[in-house]
Structure formats: structure tokens, C-alpha cells
Structure 1
Amino acid sequence: MPSASPTEPWDVHRLPSAQGKTFLVTGGNAGIGYFVAEQLAGTGATVVLGSRDPAKADAAVASIRSRLPDARVRHIRLDLAALSSLKASVEALGLDRLDAVVHNAGVKFDQPPRRETDDGHEAMFGINHLGHFALTHWLMPLLTAAPEGRVVTTGSFAAKSERLDLDDLQSIRDYRPERTYGRSKLAQMLFGFELDRRLRAVGSTVRSVVTHPGGALDSLTPSRPPIHVRTTGERLRGLPAGVLIQGKEAAAWPAVRAVLDPSVTGGELWVPRTFGLRGVPRREPVRGHLADAEVAAHLWSASRDLTGVEPEFGPAQGPDQDA
């Protein structure tokens, strides 16, 4: 396995070895998350897929092993819509340390009605943001136990045009699916940056990095049966769009780099190079509403109140310790 030095340019096709490390990818059974998991598995690391559907997770594991016979890959049941289940999911990892988690799982609804999780939270905000916020709480002891743990939070290009309504985080008064989705992804990104500020404040070795995948189409995504099957017709119809956007394999590159590149540090934002929509990953300045620490701090407090937990950064401890 080739090893990249700090002076060599990052090569998305020649990733550095990560043997001996363990990574968790939420939603790693499909879409961009699948390709994040597949690429990380090629580094020799142990990759754990977090999925609420065991059958789909089994299929994803089989697909990765069909391409990488020596892959160290497995899955756990992870349901971000059920906050009370997350402690048991972390215990099911059976780990004493975790080198990185990629907060990738998410849902997007294109049409009303407004949906809620079993906990009574608006579904997109509840799964995309609150679930990952609470999961980070339970994972933090494992991340702290690693030499340099990383939390990689996957945002969205859609978040750039949205603003949070701190008085209506659950879209009770104003539910428009596209807006609510964009705000849920913005919440994730603000959480990632606020997490970095809090980690730095206590001198933690854990890094919090934010990414977004740009634009990604199934028609530009290589087939991975049975996870994803692309016909020749779909591929040809998608070619014109490839000028501006890309497939999900390439959309995984920013998150993979955020996990593996030793030069990546906390508080950074990594996106596709070309207009933030396609291409190899690059670092983008964090500015505007993404850099609003006051809004992020209010969101953190609200998330703590809504979930009943809060990521803490004390000495390393076992995941079975109560909140």
C-alpha cells in the first residue's frame, strides 16, 4: 500500500495505508457512504458500516469484499432516528478506540407531509443532525482514546443558501421540504465547526472536519450490484451533466481525504475543487454564515436540550459509562 508524504500531492486513486485503524461510516450501506466505506476499506483499515437495515448492510459488505477480498469490513445496526438506541449501537462496536467516524447518513424528503422520528423530532433535522449530535456523545470516549481521532461531518452544497431559524429548528411553522433539508445539513456543518471550537478549547487531540460532496448523480456513478446498477442508457444520458457534477464515487473523495490526510486539521472545510460541485477535494475557507459562532453555540445548546446528551471531552473512558 503506497504511503503519501506531506510533500506529495493528494492522489484520490493512491490512498495512504491505514492498517491498524478503525473507521465508522454512518449510512455506509448505500450512496456516497458506500463509496466512502469502499475506498477506506482499500487502505487496510477496519471499516464498520452503520446501517438501520441489516440486509442492505450485508449486501454492501459483500459488494466491498467482491472488489477487495481482503477487506476488513463489517456492520452494526445504527438507527439515528431512535436516540435511545445509540448507546447500544456504540457498545456493539466492541472497540476500545475509534480512529474516525464519518457522519454521512441522512434522509431527504421532496414532498410534504412533515414527518417525525419516534422521538417526535422533525425527521430530516432529527436524523441528519440530532442523531449525529447524540452519536458523537457516545463515540467521544472511543475517539479520545485514539492517538488522533477524527469526526468528519458531511454537509451539503444546499446549506450555503440557507439560514437557520433558531426559533423554528424543527420546521413546525415553516415546513418546506427543500428548505428543511438544507437547514438540516447547515445544522450539521455548524455542529462540526462548533465541535472543533470546543475540542480546541480543552486541548483535545480529536479533530472535527467538515466536508460536502458537491453534486452527485446515480447516472454518473459506477455500478456496484446489487447496491447500485447503472445501465448503458443511464450512463449516456448522464454524460452532459458530468461537465458540472459527478458520480457518487467521486463525491466520496472529500470525506475520504478528511479521514486519511495527515495535513487535514480541525475546523477545515473540504469540498470538490470545481465550483464546489465536482473534482478532487480542496480546502475551502470557512466564511459567512458557516463561520457564525454565535448561531452555532445556540444550535449546540438547543441540540443538547432536544437530545438529552452532549459531547464531552474529558479523559478517555469506556462507552458503557452513563451520560
Structure 2
Amino acid sequence: MARTVNVLVTGGNAGIGYFTAEQLAEAGATVVLGSRSQTKADTAADAIRARVPGADIRHLPLDLGDLSSLKSSADGLEKLDAVVFNAGVALDSLDREESVDGHELMFATNHLGHFALTHWLAPLLTTARIITVGSFAARSERLDLDDLQSINAYDPKRTYGRSKLAQMIFGFELDRRLRAAGSRAMSVVVHPGGALDSLTPSRPGVHTRPASTRVAGLLLHGKDSGAMPAVKAVLDPDVEGGQLWGPRQFGLRGKPHLERPHAHMTDPETAAALWQKSCELTGLDLDV
């Protein structure tokens, strides 16, 4: 890179977020780890510096499940060239959980938190790349605009998939609105494919690789590989706003390639309705 790129990675202390941060640091970026835990962020930073001596890694206290805290978090930043909306919650329990604001926890953290954070970061994003990390799970889901909070029908797997779909719909709609406003910022959507812990290399204090299986390795990949579409979206000068990047082989593993979004991810009427409801639920008018 000709200059240092400043990047915020939400959830940058673990999983896909950690490897996104590590790979960006290897490319010379200044990386801000958005994390609720100072201890976990410090551990992640130490692991990155062990592989990238001298890496510029910082921590931003960030709790996407607490909407009232996000303005303070955004105020802690001075410059951004890109932000990777990666942080997410995936729950297995059959008991529906809520955020401190009373919203279903996965939808609140994965979508509403990033929606609200975009509002508060807006002054720093006038020329930035805004990268939304979706999920392969979103392909088979559809939003229920009358039950975004999964009050009437809660299934953890479906609710997670819908929360990630909401993120992706938001990412595509954000770019449409940026283009319409003549903004120099761009919004890009990515997904990691089938990224497994068992195929992910160990990092001290961050991740210990469990026993792997040869079959899984033929079909899926690790979270280090799953981070590559997000890293490409941040750094590659040929990436354009409104694009979707994911793994090359069946959308599950391999190097990043440009994908065609499914129609239900880019439907303008659904996107407009989700945008309006997100404004109402967050109490914010995200106008770009």
C-alpha cells in the first residue's frame, strides 16, 4: 500500500474478525479491534504482533448489543478508511434472548447494532469502504418484516440466518443510497463460505485448533481463508461498491471471487421496508 489504511474491524478479537485483522496488519494497515473486552482485544493484538512485528493494533470498546453506547464508541475514532462489520452472535439455545434494549439478541447485535454504528460513524465514512460480512446461511432465508424480532416464531438457526440476511440487504441498500447521494464512499458485501474451527490454524490465546477431518477439508475451509473476501474488499482497488465477494468453490471454500447476489438480497422494496423499520427500532434517522 502507498499509505497506511486505517480499518475498524468489529468483533476483531476472535474468529473471522481476528483473521481479517491479522491479514490487514500483514498488509500494513492500522487495525482497530472493536470488542467489548479489553482483555480479549489485548490477547488478539499480542497474537497479531507475534506474527507481524510492529503491527499497529488498537482497541475500541464496542458493544453492538447496547445501542446507547455506540455514539461514545464512535467518538473514540478520528480517522477511518474502511470498516468491516464482522461482529456477530450465533445462539443455539431454544430460549429467545434479548439485548439490553429489549430486541432479539442476534438481530440486535448482527444487524441493528451495525445499522446504528453506521449512523454514528457517518462523519468518518465520507470516502471509506464499508464492508458487511454476511453468511452463506442467508441464501435460504427470507425476512419476515412483520416479525423481525422473532417474537411469534423463534428458531435459533433461522433467526441467525435472517439476521445475517438483514445485514446483507442493508449492505446492498447502503451502496444504492450512497450512489444516489453522489458519495465517494462505497458499501461492499462479503461472506466467508463454510469456515470451520477444525480447519482454522491455532493462534495463542485466541484459537486452539481441534481435531480436523479430511472430508471437511475437501468441502470447507478455515476461518483464516474465510477472512479473505473481507480483506480483499478493503484493499483491492478494483473492488466496487454494491458487489458481493465470497469463496470461489461453490461459495464454500477457496480464494475470493465476485458473486451474483440472490434476488431476495437486493430487492429494493424489502430493503426500503427494512431500512425504515431499522430507523424506528434504533431511534435513529440514518440518512445517506
Deviation of 1:287 (Å): 3.2
2:141 aligned residue: 162
TM-score w.r.t. length of structure 2 = 0.98
**Counterpart check, 1:199 vs 2:178:** yes
Deviation of 1:308 (Å): 1.1
Contiguous gaps of at least 5 residues in structure 1:
1-16, 314-323
How many Å separate the matches in 1 of 2:186 and 2:160?
A: 26
2:201 aligned residue: 222
Paired letter, 2:125: L
Aligned mate of 1:131, from 107, 110, 113: 113
1:66 aligned residue: 50
How many Å separate the matches in 2 of 1:87 and 1:124?
A: 20
Aligned mate of 2:25, from 36, 41, 49: 41
How many Å separate the matches in 1 of 2:168 and 2:2?
A: 26
Paired letter, 1:208: S
How many Å separate the matches in 1 of 2:66 and 2:163?
A: 17
Deviation of 1:53 (Å): 1.0
Worse overlay, 26-35 or 284-293:
284-293
Change (3 A) 1:218 1:287: closer
What are the within-5 Å matches in structure 2 for residues 1-323 of structure 1? Answer: 17=1, 19-93=3-77, 95=78, 97-144=79-126, 148-231=127-210, 234=211, 237-313=212-288
How many Å separate the matches in 2 of 1:171 and 1:278?
A: 31
Are 2:173 and 2:266, in contact at CA under 8 Å, matched by a contact in 1? no
SS in 1 for 2:187: strand
Deviation of 1:18 (Å): 6.1
How many Å separate the matches in 2 of 1:185 and 1:18?
A: 34
The superposition leaves residues 21-74 of structure 1 with CA deviations (integer Å, 9 ceiling, x where unpaired) of: 200000000001000000001111110000011111110011101111110111
The CA RMSD over aligned residues, in Å, is: 1.0
SS in 1 for 2:80: coil
How many Å separate the matches in 1 of 2:186 and 2:213?
A: 37
SS in 2 for 1:280: strand
Computing the radius of gyration from Cα coordinates, the structure with the larger value is 1
How many Å separate the matches in 1 of 2:213 and 2:83?
A: 32
Paired letter, 1:47: V
How many Å separate the matches in 1 of 2:3 and 2:94?
A: 45
How many Å separate the matches in 1 of 2:213 and 2:231?
A: 24
TM-score w.r.t. length of structure 1 = 0.87
The superposition leaves residues 251-272 of structure 1 with CA deviations (integer Å, 9 ceiling, x where unpaired) of: 0000000111111111100010
SS in 2 for 1:74: strand
SS in 1 for 2:88: coil
1:317 aligned residue: none
Are 1:18 and 1:44, in contact at CA under 8 Å, matched by a contact in 2? no
Deviation of 1:91 (Å): 1.1
Give % identity.
64
How many Å separate the matches in 2 of 1:142 and 1:305?
A: 23
Change (3 A) 1:18 1:28: farther
How many Å separate the matches in 2 of 1:36 and 1:18?
A: 20
How many Å separate the matches in 1 of 2:59 and 2:17?
A: 13
How many Å separate the matches in 2 of 1:18 and 1:123?
A: 41
| Residues matched between the structures, number | 288
SS in 2 for 1:101: strand
Deviation of 1:312 (Å): 3.2
Deviation of 1:76 (Å): 1.0
How many Å separate the matches in 2 of 1:111 and 1:292?
A: 31
Are 1:220 and 1:239, in contact at CA under 8 Å, matched by a contact in 2? no
Paired letter, 1:35: F
Deviation of 1:285 (Å): 1.1
Contiguous gaps of at least 5 residues in structure 2:
none
